Copies of this chain bind each other. A is one copy, B any other.
Amino acid sequence: MSEPAPHPPRRERERLRHRQEILDAALRVCATRGVEGVTVEHVAREAEFAVGSIYRHFRSKDELLKELVAVLADRYFQELDALVCGPLPYPEKLQAAVNLLYDRHVESLPLIAALYAAPGPMPAPGTPGAEELRALRQRQWAILDKLLAEGQALGGLAPGNRAPMVLALTGLVTSFARAEGSGLDYGGDPAADVLAIFLSGCSTS
């Protein structure tokens, strides 16, 4: 009698909205109770859904959390990639990238790490989540590598193996961000200091 076309889209939209609401709720619960403290019931209550409904959208609690990470990581990587591929001139581009890294580390990267990494070296290969974490690191590595490659070409970065530079950059950011996260205020500007040390180190000269 009528085309079945107009309806499905609405259904679909609704469904996606609910899925997103659940993810948002999960993120809030993670923030308040810590990742290990999350239960499906907490998420359900926070999202104002029934427990069973969560399972309509995600096969398991684990999948829900992985999806959450994927979403956050994606958002973050797109931002970072856009910046790296953007038109900013060099010293500013590097500083902007450090700022972004720093901000995201304070915000959501901890969650990502928490979900996948028993902090410490890395989840043993075979551990649940190990593969996903490896992929995340890979992706970040590629973007930062691109950033530093441009720096070598145009920004005064030392030539040669970029791997230690990538490690240095992320290590510095992580350390300063954790310090801020734990309430330490040493009286300086973290993002600026990260960049300064990354470029010139701590010795006189």
Contact = CB atoms under 8 A, between A and B. Distances in A.
Interface residues of A, number: 61
Interface stretch (A1-9, A16-24, A69-77, A122-130): A122-130
Q: Which of A118, A121, A161, A199 has the most CB atoms of chain B within a 10 A radius of its CB?
A: A121
A122 B188 contact: no
B182 A121 contact: yes
Contacts of A200: 200-201, 203, 205
Nearest to A141: B184
Secondary structure at the A interface, as helix, strand, loop or mixed, is helix
Oligomeric state, in copies: 4
Interface in A108-151: 109-111, 113-114, 117-125, 127, 134, 137
Contacts of A100: none
A170 B178 CA distance: 11
A62 B160 CA distance: 47
Interface string A182-199: 111011101001000111
A110 B204 CA distance: 32
Interface string A142-176: 00000000000000111101011101101111111
Interface of A: 32, 34-36, 106, 109-111, 113-114, 117-125, 127, 134, 137, 156-159, 161, 163-165, 167-168, 170-184, 186-188, 190, 193, 197-205
- What are the 10 tightest A-B residue pairs by CB atom distance, in nearest-first order? A121-B181, A110-B120, A171-B175, A119-B119, A163-B186, A122-B182, A201-B201, A200-B201, A171-B171, A34-B118
